[in-house]
Amino acid sequence: MTDGMTRRDAVRMISATAAGMLLPVSVRAVRETLEMVTRAIPSSGEKLPVIGLGTSRVFDVDPSQASTLEPVLSELVKLGGRVIDSSPMYGHAEEVVGELVSKLKLRDSVFLATKVWTRGKQAGIDSMERSFRLLQTKTIDLMQVHNLVDTTTQLATMRDWKAQRRIRYLGITHYNSSAYSELERVLRSERVDFVQINYSLSEPEAEQRILPLAQERGVAVIVNRPFGAGDLFARVRGKPLPDFAREFDCTSWAQFMLKWIIAYPAVTCAIPATDKPEHMEDNLRAGSGRLPDAPMRSRMAEYVARL
């Protein structure tokens, strides 16, 4: 979800308009030298930057207005991000992503992930073929069974398409801890490359079984809802960062929340959603510099819990 008006209070970097304001040379230079932390996909060894982009709600705009989101994708790639996650469930998001990636000639620079969210083999095939058309690509990097809907049927088709090299990786997703028992069952019974789950300072339940199991099974982890659907920003609104945030190169609350997530070794990539280039930049900066160690992560969680 988009992080809303409260996010603006947390961002320290110079803001840009949706059209992309010109920035001072010193700021542009910092952007150009940003080094992103990467994590390997266990099944292949391919490395991905630890911060990507979610498109739920924020990219569901009329395709004729897609150009307003150009600065967001430009910022993602310019600062070293790659992962763009979408779904047929997100309205126009797939079409908007496809238009922008094609227009900006970014296909070789991004890792496109989307989902299938339907029942039945033919319905799944039709849905995935539509995703190919909307994303304007011959290869989808990651296809995921959205919210575990008809998992066995859809995974069978996805495996066939992976063998044909139409998709490169396959996975499963959910956004609610109530589904963790079923996620665990699938992770133990099926061979998948990725699992996508909710995980944040306000929703840490994945640490109990899902994240350790993914690590044990060699499954990459994408984290959705990293800001807890935006409620974390409401909790920290108007409050200064703790002094100890400087110990892991953190300059905003968004970075604080994201660094806590990506510091967990099983996490491959977090995908905060945004339609604002200045927030995209702030999010990506969480993927650079030092990360908190385990004792520091505990301290961070305790600090936020007291707010």
* Residue in 67, 39, 65, 63 with CA at minimum distance from that of residue 51: 39
> What does the pLDDT read at residue 137?
98
pLDDT category at 14 given cuts 50, 70, 90 is very low
> What does the pLDDT read at residue 231?
85
Question: Mean pLDDT over residues 114-142, rounded?
Answer: 98
* Residue in 186, 196, 189, 188 with CA at minimum distance from that of residue 216: 188
pLDDT category at 32 given cuts 50, 70, 90 is low
pLDDT category at 229 given cuts 50, 70, 90 is confident
Question: Mean pLDDT over residues 139-159, rounded?
Answer: 97
Which tokens in the block code for residue 50?
A: 């630890």
Whether the per-residue pLDDT at 269 is higher than 80: the answer is yes
Name which residue leads in pLDDT, 34 or 121: 121
Beta-carbon contacts of 180 under 8 Å, excluding residues fewer than 6 positions away, are 174, 197, 205, 206, 209, 210
> What does the pLDDT read at residue 74?
96
Share of the chain above pLDDT 90, in %: 88
> How far is the CA of 123 from the CAs of 94, 160, 299, in angstroms?
18, 16, 47
278-302 pLDDT tens trace: 999 999 999 999 999 999 999 999 9
> What does the pLDDT read at residue 9?
45
89-103 pLDDT tens trace: 999 999 999 999 999
Contact between 272 and 283 (Cβ < 8 Å): yes
CA 113 from chain centre, in angstroms, equals 10
Name which residue leads in pLDDT, 10 or 181: 181
pLDDT category at 124 given cuts 50, 70, 90 is very high
> What does the pLDDT read at residue 20?
38
Whether the per-residue pLDDT at 128 is higher than 80: the answer is yes
Whether the per-residue pLDDT at 10 is higher than 50: the answer is no
User: Domain-by-domain residue ranges, the chain?
Assistant: 38-305
Question: Mean pLDDT over residues 179-196, rounded?
Answer: 97
Contact between 203 and 226 (Cβ < 8 Å): no
> How far is Cα 155 from Cα 190, in angstroms, rounded to an integer?
9
55-95 pLDDT tens trace: 999 999 999 999 999 999 999 999 999 999 999 999 999 99
> What does the pLDDT read at residue 26?
33
Is 259 exposed, middle or buried, given 0-12, 13-18 or 19+ CB atoms closer than 10 A? Answer: buried
> What does the pLDDT read at residue 230?
75
pLDDT category at 7 given cuts 50, 70, 90 is low
> How far is Cα 170 from Cα 227, in angstroms, rounded to an integer?
25
Share of the chain above pLDDT 70, in %: 89
> How far is Cα 298 from Cα 173, in angstroms, rounded to an integer?
27
Instruction: Note the CATH architecture for domain 38-305.
Output: Alpha-Beta Barrel (3.20)
Contact between 167 and 161 (Cβ < 8 Å): yes
pLDDT, mean over the chain: 91
| Torsion sign (Cα): 152, 154, 157, 163 | negative
